[in-house]
Structures are given as structure tokens and as C-alpha cells.
Amino acid sequence: MKNKKLEVSAIENGTVIDHIPAKALFKVISILNLEKVDRQITFGTNLDSKKLGKKAIVKLSDTFFIDNEINKIALVAPQAKLNIIRDYIVIEKKVVEVPEEIMGIAKCMNPKCITNNEKIATRFRVVSRRDVKLKCHYCEKITDQEHLEII
Amino acid sequence: MKNKKLEVSAIENGTVIDHIPAKALFKVISILNLEKVDRQITFGTNLDSKKLGKKAIVKLSDTFFIDNEINKIALVAPQAKLNIIRDYIVIEKKVVEVPEEIMGIAKCMNPKCITNNEKIATRFRVVSRRDVKLKCHYCEKITDQEHLEII
């Protein structure tokens, strides 16, 4: 069953990521490396949301993530919800969870940190999950949500 | 009339950019600065296309472009077609045209060019439109399609 409308509005198999803050959409795309995915993807952004003001949604055909991978987006979209779709039916719902350790996604806010001066990947321990606070493995400085910059 | 399906599959007023090569979608987003647009946008990518193999489409609600602005995308999506929508109806169709001069979108491929060494915006004259060839205003070297890098 091929139908142009279906292609852009529903997926047969895959993952729907909903409740992304609109401002975080391109960060999510970058964290999940969606520029490189060759399956069908639809994005919608600046959609009205009671919870988030403006939200974005991403629908990925034939694409599934392992928890470790998807949890990275919790840094920028802590309220994101995943629907796993099979045969047009939601077979599983998931929430994202900020992982305990973050490797190489965020930038350390300390300009003197070795990761900002040499070719060393960043590494953080998550010291607060609710309002994300990351403690740098190298310089031990805290990078908070406000200063969070995705590499 | 609010309907969730409509929000992601059709627009009431705005611009639809079709026939973007899938590989060029994020370049088009960057050239048009769509990360900053606060109106509803839907993107679809890796859709089947007889002409392009895999294509992308962008639907922008309540957003219209002047020709100068939209022509910039001809650099990466020379076959792009625009539909201007009013009340769900296509009132105008446009094609994009590589402009005669390009300011600050592409990078000069000459590493010794002043634009690659000092804070000077690039500037090119388009010497071939079909297979894009850009002649740098400063160093006069040619940057061709193959080496074209969007800033």
C-alpha cells in the first residue's frame, strides 16, 4: 500500500519521538546523527503543545534505537517520549532517562578544561538529572543546563 | 479547523519546497536559516523520487521567501520546486535559479584565499550555472560543485 499522504503522516514500522522542545529539535538531530540515516524521516516542529509551548516530533521509518543511544537526547529533551511502531500500531512506549555518564556529546563550560584545548573527547558524570548538571571527569567543573552546549 | 493529521501533512498558507536531493536537506535548512523560523515546519526526507533517487520536501507554514533568498538553495538543490499555498491551494509554482553572485554561503576551495585566513565573508561570481562553478572575487580560483562546501 503506497500512498503519498501516509508516507509523510504515519509510519508502518519504526520510532516516533514526541515531546521534543522545538528549540531542541536540531540538537536531537545532531545527537542521533539523523543527517546520516538513509531511511524515511519526517520532522514536524513548532507544533502547539500544552506541556512544552512549542514542540517537535520526529518519525523514523524502519529505525530503532538501543536505550543507551536514545537516552543521550534526555540532555536536551528530558520529556521526550518514544513510540515504537509495528504494522502502524504502537507496540511499546518509552521515556528517556538521562544516563549516568555522558561521553562526547556536551562541551565542558570551563574554557581552561583540557577538553577545550586538546583533542580529548569530553566525559561527564551526571550529578543532577532533573535540571541537568554534568561534572567534568577531567577538570571537575560543573556544566549546568543553562550553559549546556552540544558538540 | 484543527486536525493533527492536517498539521503534519498539509499546510493552509505557506511554502512547500519539493525536489530537494535528500543529501542536501540539512544544507537547505542551514542556507535558509530554518532553525530560527518559529512557524510550523515539516520536513520529509529519503522519500522515493524518480528524478532524484531520494528526495526531501520541506513545508513551511505562513512563511514566504523573496526570490533572492530562495535562489540561494539552487547551489545545493538546483532542481528544487516551490509551491506557494493559500487556503490549501497552490496559487503559484516557482523554480530556483542559481543567482549571478553568491555572498557568504559557500567556502572558497583555495586554502590560501584570504577568506579562509581572515574574517572576510566569501563572495563569488557564478561562471557556470548548470554544474555550479563559482569564481572567487578575491583569489579568482574556481570552486566547483564537487568541492562546494556550505558554510
How many whole angstroms separate alpha carbon A113 and alpha carbon A35? 29
Q: How far is A43 from chain B (nearest CA, A)?
A: 5
> Residue B134 pLDDT > 90, yes or no?
yes
Contacts of A7 in chain B (CB under 8 A): 44, 47
Contacts of B45 in chain A (CB under 8 A): 40-42
How many whole angstroms separate alpha carbon A126 and alpha carbon B100? 51
Predicted pLDDT of residue B59: 94
> Residue A3 pLDDT > 50, yes or no?
no
Average pLDDT, chain A: 88
Residues in chain A, overall count? 151
Predicted pLDDT of residue A1: 35
pTM beyond 0.95: the answer is no
Q: Which of the residues B16, B23, B30, B47 would you substitute to probe the A interface, choosing the one with the greatest number of A C-beta atoms within 10 Å?
A: B47
Q: How far is A139 from chain B (nearest CA, A)?
A: 32
> Residue A134 pLDDT > 50, yes or no?
yes
Check CB contact of B52 with chain A, cutoff 8 Å.
no
pLDDT in tens, B60-114: 999 999 988 898 899 889 899 999 999 999 999 999 988 889 988 899 999 999 9
- State which of A72-81, A110-119, B142-151 shows the largest mean pLDDT: A110-119
Which of B123-136 are b and which e, b meaning 16 or more Cβ less than 10 Å from the residue's Cβ?
Answer: bbebeeeeebbbbb
Contacts of B22 in chain A (CB under 8 A): 38
Contacts of B5 in chain A (CB under 8 A): 9
How many whole angstroms separate alpha carbon B108 and alpha carbon B140? 10
Predicted pLDDT of residue B9: 61
Between A3 and A38, the higher pLDDT residue: A38
Predicted pLDDT of residue B6: 34
How many whole angstroms separate alpha carbon A137 and alpha carbon A118? 15
Predicted pLDDT of residue A5: 39
pLDDT in tens, A51-90: 888 999 999 999 999 988 898 899 889 899 999 999 999 9
